[in-house]
Structure formats: C-alpha cells, structure tokens
Structure 1
C-alpha cells in the first residue's frame, strides 16, 4: 500500500515537472555524460525549429554545429565543469538555421560526479538580426520638395514653413496622422539643408524593443555586458547629417530623458563607456498624435517636446485637403503606369465621386494603395472604373458599396423566376444565378474579366459557371 502511494506521488511529481518544463518561456536543453540529449522542452524546440524526435537521444554534435573557434557552452559545462552565465552564443542546427541565444549553463552533479549539463537559453536571434540591419543603414533620400504633391492652401503653407527650416540646423517636429507623408517632409528638409551631404538615418522608435533602442541610438562599448561588441549607434552613424526619429512618443520616459541630454549637450555616451563623444547631428522627429495630448498622457516629456519642436510642422490629413486628390491620383497612376508598363489615363466620374466622398483614414498612403490595387485589376481598359477598386475599399466606402453591383429589382426576379408550381430550392437558385450572371454580363458588354471582378469571382470560376449554366456569351 505504501509502495502504491509512493508510485502515485512520483507520477504526480513527474507530471508537474513535465508541465513546468514545457510551459516556461525559456529554452531548456539537458545532455547526459555521454553528450546525448535527454531533456528538450517545447520552447527550445520552437527556438531551434527542431522536433523533440530530431534531438532526444541524439549526440549533441550530430545536431548542432559551431563555427571555428566557437565552443558550445553546454559541452564546456559538461566536460570542463564550468558554470557559465549570461553568455551570448551563435550556432547552427543540422538544417542550417542560425540561432543566437543568451545562455545560463551548469554542470549537473551526483555524488560530486558530473552526470550531465543543463542549458537555459533565451532566444535573441531576431533582436540580433535587427541590430545588424540597423548597422547596415545607408543614406537613401530620394525625396525633395519637388516630390510633394498638392496645390491646396493647407499643404502649400506647410511646404513653405518646411523650406524655411532648411536654413538652420534647428530641431524639427513633424506632426501628422499615419500616412500623411511625414518622412517625405523630413527627407525634403534634409536634402534642402547644409546637412544634405551627410547621411540621412531613419529609425522607427516603435519598431524596436525597449531593451534595445538605447544601444541602437547610442551604441555599445565592448565588454559592457557579456557578448557586447564595439558598436556605434545611430547618432554616430548620422554624424554631419540628419537623424529622423519616427514615433518619438513611443520611447520610455527614461530614454526620452537620455535623448534630451544628448540633444542639449550635443554628445552621447555609449552603453558601458565612460567617455562622452561629441556629435553633429540634426534631429527631425515625428509624432502621429497631438503633442499636447501626448504630454498630458505621459507619452511625451514636456521638456523634450520644447527641445524637439523648435520648428513644428502640422501635416494636414487627406480629408483636410481633398482638393489635392485629383493631383495625387494622376501622380500615382503615372507612377504605376511606368512600373507596370501600362497606359491608364485616369479614373471615371463615379470613382472620383467615391474618392471625394471617402474620409481616407489612411490618408495619402491609403489612396496610393487603392490606385495600385485598382491597376492590378485593369486589363485593357484606359480608365479605372468602380469594378477595379479593391474589394476591401469598396466595402468601406458607402458610395462604392452601393455601386458595386447592378440593381436587380424584385419585380424582374419574380417575372423571370415566377414558378408555375413549387420547385426544389436547388433548381430555383440555379435559375436565379443564371439570371444574375446574365444581367452583369450585359452590363459589362459581355466582358468576362470585368464581370468576374464585379461578381467577386475569378475569371476561371465565372467561365465555369457560364459553361455549367449554358449561358450564351
């Protein structure tokens, strides 16, 4: 009886252990004294894109490869009784996938004898790739003030203020909704200023983990933490040029304070360093909300706002400058004519009415995407029609959704489908389908591609239905 209780207790502990080991959000890898894997949890499997069957009871070095000069922390713990903490390691799986982890590794003892080793790993592969990509940033500024499209008073006023801002190195804060073209203004200011010969470096502050953004901005000194290398930050990369900080309100208050100091002192200090380095960089920043609201909600420090907004540009939304829509349409049509080798001339009156009625929550960027999407549906037609507009846009636009299909009256359906006697529903629906497809074909002069687009079908599916229903076209 006592033995049965012990066995039951042991099974419970085993279940608890297995649940714990597989649910924790770090990788766990254990090898025995022969170097074979005996424990490999779900997180480790996710990190390395290997199944447990790929690894369990397999020799460690048959599954993982290390570059020349690199040693496995797990094998170091096993064969040299080393306890290794917070060490960054890059290695390759047998499938060729490169993995970078921060490891804590320990030998496992039994009666003072090493019987295995355990590694607890945190995946930093994506973060490492982000850092490498940021180090490879190049100046890529193709926009100038000639690139800014618009004749409305709202946009012309902002362009004029932006041109004046090119005369000095003062900080500029660009305020506007997503999709209004804030980076176009930033690049135009850079290219029109004395900093134009220097680099233009852009960083979306919301796109990076908070734990990394400081090292990306200011750089790191070798040895600052385990695995840290000598790496310059964006301030130093932008030396003599312009640093664009997009969505500045996404930075933490602590980092905003460090940024404020760097701008005021015109110097930065790499993480882990004791030396201040002078920098000559013009700061342009953007924010996609009202700065006053951001300050009130503690998303933007008031002192940083004053430092960044020496010049403030308020970019109008597209709904505030609808008079520019026709210019923007022509610009985007020409852009994609060249890209797609097409010759579209414009949009028809109904499309223009839809565009003028629509509120454009995505602003100019959304308009460009709609034009690009429509031109992907144009075949031989010289004009973009309602049927060419992307389906999701037509659903959002009240006017477009009303024009999506030809109106088929209840009277017409009753006339054509008036049954002399009750029929099976299947037969009735086939009759209705045939009638409706014929109506849409007639509306489009039997142009099958346009008809398919309007019905929300592929051309192949429409042809199948035409054949199945014996519709003469």
Structure 2
C-alpha cells in the first residue's frame, strides 16, 4: 500500500474519531491497512491480517454480503450499516460500519471501512443524539435552499410554508436523491419549532434491536449492559424528529411509533413510567406509501396517522427546467469549495443533462458535476469530463430525436428554450433581478450575461 493511502486512512479516522477502528482493502479484497483500538472485543492485530484476504480473516462474510466489496462494485459509500462478524479466531461481535470507495484517476482502487463496536452503543447514541462532536450551532436548510423555478417545486414550497407553523405530522414521498431531508429541515426551520432540535434517523441503516433503543431510550437493567439513556423522541422534545425510510422499520416498532405520536409519551426499554414528550414527527420513504401498506411494510393505522399532510417531491426528470438553476448553484458551490474557476458546461453536456432521465435525481446531478470538476482542466466541463456511461444512456434516449430533428442544432435550440424559460419564470416570480438571481442560484452578473445572450428584457 502506498504512503498516500495510509495517510488517507488515518485522516478518515481523525474525522470519525469516535469509531473503534478501520480496515482498508485493495481491489482484490486483500487487506492493506488495519487499525483496532478495542482488542478486548476483537483481538485481531495488524500482524494477523495485513496482506491477507478479507474472506480469510472473516468467515462470516463473502463476496455477496461484504460491504467493502459492495462499495467497490457500486462506487457508492454506505453509512451506518450493521454487521455481525466472526473472525478466524472464532470471536463474534456486532459493529456499525461506514464504508467508502477509494478512487485514483477516477478508477476505484480499493475501499476503507470504519467501525464502531456495538458494545459502545451508548457512546454512539450519545454522539448521535447530542451532537457532541459538532462545533458551533447547527445550521438547518431553509426554504430558500430549495433551488427551483419549476411550477411543481414552487407549489411544493408553498405547501411547506403553509404547514410549517402547525404541529401536524407530515409524510414525505420522493425517489432516492430528491431531497427528502432537505424538505423536512425546511419545514422545521420555517416553523415555530425552529429554535429547538431537529433530529434525523435513517431507519434502514440501524438494526431493529438497536433502532428501538435509539428511538425510545433505555433503563439500567432493561437488558444486558443497558444504561439509563434517553432516546431520540426525548432528545427532540420541543422540536422535530425526522424518520427516513420508515417502511423499513419492523412492524412492532411501528406500533410504538404510532403510540408515541398519538399519546405524546414514550416508555423507555425496560422502564415502567411513561415519559411525556412534545415532538413533531416527519416521516419519509422512497417507495409509494400505500403500496408499502398493501405489501405489509407499513402499518395502515400508522400510514393514516402520518399522512395528515403528504408532500410528494417530483423527480428531476419531470421538472427539467430546474436542471439549469441547480447546475448553476453547484458550479458556484464547487468553485468555492474546490477553489476552481469553471464557468459553465459545454452545450453537449447540457444537452446530455436535459435528455438524461436522472434515476438518482438531484443527488446524481450534484455528483456528476463534482466528478466533472475533478477531471476538468479548463474553464468548461466537456463530454470527456463526464462519466461515459451516462452519455451512453442519454444517447440511447436521444438517438431517435437527433435523427428526426436535425442533430446538434436542434439540441442547442432546446438548451436555449430551457434557459430562457428558467430565467423568465424567475423574473416573473421575483420583484427584481437580484432576487431572481438568488432564486436561480447564480450571481447577478451571470444572470445579466445570460439575459443579453438570450435577448431577455427585465420588464416582461
């Protein structure tokens, strides 16, 4: 392993310094870095594992269930995943793991996994609930952070504004990457609970037995090693609790969630006394809620209790007029954070973006632009700077269109139409050009330049 990768592993551990250790493998699954600070739980040392196969060390995992191999297959990080592990010494233990692919020249060369033993779940819960590692006050997303000019998203923002000051439960439905937590935070930040905590839990990321204790807390003696510890419902008292992928939660835990919402009181695991709470619950899922009810993944009574208000976030493919303002926002963002001066996307890349279906929605758009920033050597992100697989998919979608409509000239005209519509809609919506630029997520100068290019006047 190179010194650079070793330093990378140590930097990851410094960032996540409440974890117990890390393991790094190369593309073939050979272990090249290992750190473990709890040898009372797992006695493996560097000498035991370095240079050996992951599957030789852990008899409990294989190519199919290994999170390290999974992130190398997909290129996507995995956060807070529970694993039950057995090493070659016969030692058994559970761990919460976060796993990241490692790239070199845009190629995956390995993966690193950081882990926290479940024997330290109280520390994990304390950090999660209190934000003990955070520096300074938490800044939540607000309504203006939702970048859009489309009618569907502006209608959604209007609904968010109207329901923010109520205490009603909210169900958010949207595909992966549409921004469900952003919407939930905007509801919280625009309402009367904004000065209180907003706590979030992805219900699919935590095993059932740990999830219940995280949500409702524990009483000393309630089970082996249990301590007196508040759960998220108590910690969010006065504020908002956001439960993502609630349909992944066991039905028995869903019943307790329903009881907590309706009675505004909870019972800790192992406890005998009900504890009063004042919490607004916002739930989300990326599958159709009623279909989840029909498939037995969501209790019907909980479904009706949660959907007092249901917000549906439209996928990016159904609001393509938002692609330009989102792109402009991320260009500004990555220019600041990566200290670059990239001005725009090429017309070819823009046409790709307009015709691609974006199954990963806004998250995928963001990642695609970030990828372009990493590879771009000039001031314009070109086709060569974008994932070639994305171009292949987009070309499949547009091959007939090019033949019928005259190729590049038609595509450029479509870009002009989209840009003109996005800008004119923003000007009509806002009182002045400064606000319109803010709405589009671009600078006033960029807006002026685009208006000249597209022959748009300020007074429409």
Q: Is the TM value for this pair above 0.5?
A: yes
Q: Which structure has the bigger radius of gyration?
A: 1
Q: Which residue of 1 aligns with 2:118?
A: 127
Q: Which residue of 1 aligns with 2:391?
A: 394
Q: Which residue of 1 aligns with 2:169?
A: 171
CA contact 2:172–2:311 (8 Å) conserved in 1: yes
Q: Is 1:182–2:180 an aligned residue pair? A: yes
Instruction: Name the CA distance, whole Å, in 2 between partners of 1:347 and 1:264.
Output: 51
Instruction: Name the CA distance, whole Å, in 2 between partners of 1:133 and 1:226.
Output: 17
State the shift of 1:46 in Å: 10
Q: Which residue of 2 aligns with 1:108?
A: none
Decide whether aligned partners of structure 1 residues 365 and 277 sit closer, same or farther in structure 2, where only a CA change above 3 A counts. Answer: same
Q: Which residue of 1 aligns with 2:127?
A: 136
Instruction: Name the CA distance, whole Å, in 2 between partners of 1:203 and 1:372.
Output: 26
- Which aligned pairs between 1:433-448 and structure 2 lie closer than 5 A? none
Greater alpha carbon shift after TM alignment, 328-337 vs 383-392: 383-392
- For residue 397 of structure 1, give the secondary structure of its aligned residue in structure 2: helix
Q: Which residue of 1 aligns with 2:278?
A: 280
- Which aligned pairs between 1:264-343 and structure 2 lie closer than 5 A? 264-343=262-341
Q: Which residue of 2 aligns with 1:49?
A: 44
Could you tell me the TM-score, scaled by structure 1's length?
A: 0.59
State the shift of 1:50 in Å: 4.5
- Which aligned pairs between 1:51-450 and structure 2 lie closer than 5 A? 122-125=92-95, 126-129=117-120, 131-137=122-128, 138=131, 140-379=138-377, 381-398=378-395
Instruction: Name the CA distance, whole Å, in 2 between partners of 1:236 and 1:373.
Output: 41
- For residue 258 of structure 2, give the secondary structure of its aligned residue in structure 1: helix
Decide whether aligned partners of structure 1 residues 401 and 175 sit closer, same or farther in structure 2, where only a CA change above 3 A counts. Answer: closer
State the shift of 1:311 in Å: 1.1
State the shift of 1:343 in Å: 1.3
Q: Please, what is the CA RMSD of the aligned residues?
A: 2.6
State the shift of 1:129 in Å: 4.7
Instruction: Name the CA distance, whole Å, in 1 between partners of 2:336 and 2:398.
Output: 30
Listed as ranges, the gaps of 5+ residues in structure 2 are: 1-38, 50-83, 96-116, 132-136, 400-460
Decide whether aligned partners of structure 1 residues 45 and 215 sit closer, same or farther in structure 2, where only a CA change above 3 A counts. Answer: closer
Aligned pairs, number: 295
CA contact 2:238–2:278 (8 Å) conserved in 1: yes
CA contact 1:394–1:400 (8 Å) conserved in 2: no
- For residue 48 of structure 1, give the secondary structure of its aligned residue in structure 2: coil
